[in-house]
Amino acid sequence: MPFCKKCKKEKPLAEFRINGTRPDGSPRPRTICKACGSQWKTEYTEPKKCACCKKMKPASDFPENGHYSYCRPCRTAKSTAYKKGPGREAHNRRMQQYNKKRYHTDPTYPMKVRARSVVSLAVAAGILKKPSRCPACRRKVLIHGHHHKGYDKKNWLNVVWLCARCHHAEEA
């Protein structure tokens, strides 16, 4: 029987949450039983010091009732800064590698890339007119060109303009 480190008792396996499996297939229980684990996450009521702005704030200003070391505004600012800086750069690198791999492995992908670039060039040259609103739902958002007849060369400029939501619904 597993041993709970918190209440210092041996308890049946059913009273523990499972943390993966061993190579032989038997369950690996966590070190704290379910009863002690539910008591473990207490709600903080006393003011707490933010690790970022160094200000004392009530526990309600921290996510999960004080279980995080940064207050909500600091956490949001750090997250936004990461998403605009190194997080965005890392995402762009991953997407570039993914698209390069996809270009060489997916036989239809090069056709799609060519068709999309022709549409972009046609819009820039004034051959195609891109609407400011989605013709289907009339929302004023970013508009996509949907190649509803496929990506063959004869259909490159045959697009229907849709917003991302309508385009996704059309594809489905």
pLDDT number for residue 45: 80
Q: Using one digit for the tens of pLDDT, what is the confidence trace for 91-109?
A: 999 999 998 999 899 988 9
- Given a cut of 70, whether residue 39 has pLDDT beyond it is no
pLDDT average, residue stretch 140-144: 93
Q: Where are the domains of the chain?
A: 3-40, 48-84, 109-171
Mean pLDDT of the chain: 88
pLDDT number for residue 21: 74
Cα–Cα distances (Å) from 105 to 52, 108, 114, 115, 150, in that order, read 46, 9, 16, 18, 19
pTM of the model: 0.50
pLDDT number for residue 42: 63
Angle value at C-alpha 145, between 135 and 149, nearest 5 degrees: 100
